[in-house]
Structure 1
Amino acid sequence: MIENLPGSEQHRCGFSPGWSVRAYEESLDLALFEAAFCFRCHKVRMHGTAVPPALASQFFDADTPPAQDLLALFRAEAP
């Protein structure tokens, strides 16, 4: 689902992510990646052992149906 988010231009908000996804190897020692999403500035920052530097900062269109579906999943899982 994350891979299919449409790209976008940068918006300004100071990057205040409200949601993130983290993936681990079987050992659970270090995260393979963490993707932190800010739906205000349309930015996702990624870091971890499996993230090449060129993919560390990306932009997505937060107003599209795929992004809104992802946001709905995040909200449904929130405590």
Structure 2
Amino acid sequence: MQLPAEAVSAAELIEVVRVSALPTERGVPYPGRTVAHWIGSEVTDVLTLIEKLPDSEQGRCGFSPGWSVRAYEGSLDLALFEAAFCFSCHEVRMHGRAVPPALATQFFDSDATQGQALLALFRAAAL
């Protein structure tokens, strides 16, 4: 999967959200409960893992994301990007000030080792 390179290098904090619904309009944060904040090496590790997610074909669930990550730089103003993951249809939708249109919708193999590792990190964060 491809993340915006400038956002990856600038990210200092990741907010993990357990998504509860779809946003009411495009480009606004996914509603849900923040379950964790990752900093330092956790940010680097999770962004590296996300970048290693293998591509996949689109599934058929209609996009019902369970998790999202929001990446922030040190100022913690607006998110550099938010990526919402649907592990059923293998779709990731990204938006934010650092996301070019070409990266807004991608598909990943949620059954791959990297996909399962990411899901395990999300679930552990929610405990």
TM-score bracket relative to the smaller structure? over 0.9
Count of residues in Structure 1 that have an aligned counterpart in Structure 2: 79
How is 1:3-18 mapped onto 2 (pairs within 5 angstroms)?
3-18=51-66
Q: Which runs of 5+ in 1 are unaligned?
A: none
Q: Which runs of 5+ in 2 are unaligned?
A: 1-48
Work out the CA distance in 2 between the residues paired with 1:48 and 1:26.
16
User: Structure 1-normalised TM-score?
Assistant: 0.95
Work out the CA distance in 2 between the residues paired with 1:67 and 1:18.
13
Helix, strand or coil: the match of 2:68?
Answer: strand
Helix, strand or coil: the match of 1:31?
Answer: coil
Identity of aligned residues (%): 78
How is 1:2-41 mapped onto 2 (pairs within 5 angstroms)?
2-41=50-89
Show structure 1 runs of 4+ deviating over 2 A. Answer: none
User: Structure 2-normalised TM-score?
Assistant: 0.60
Work out the CA distance in 2 between the residues paired with 1:64 and 1:36.
18
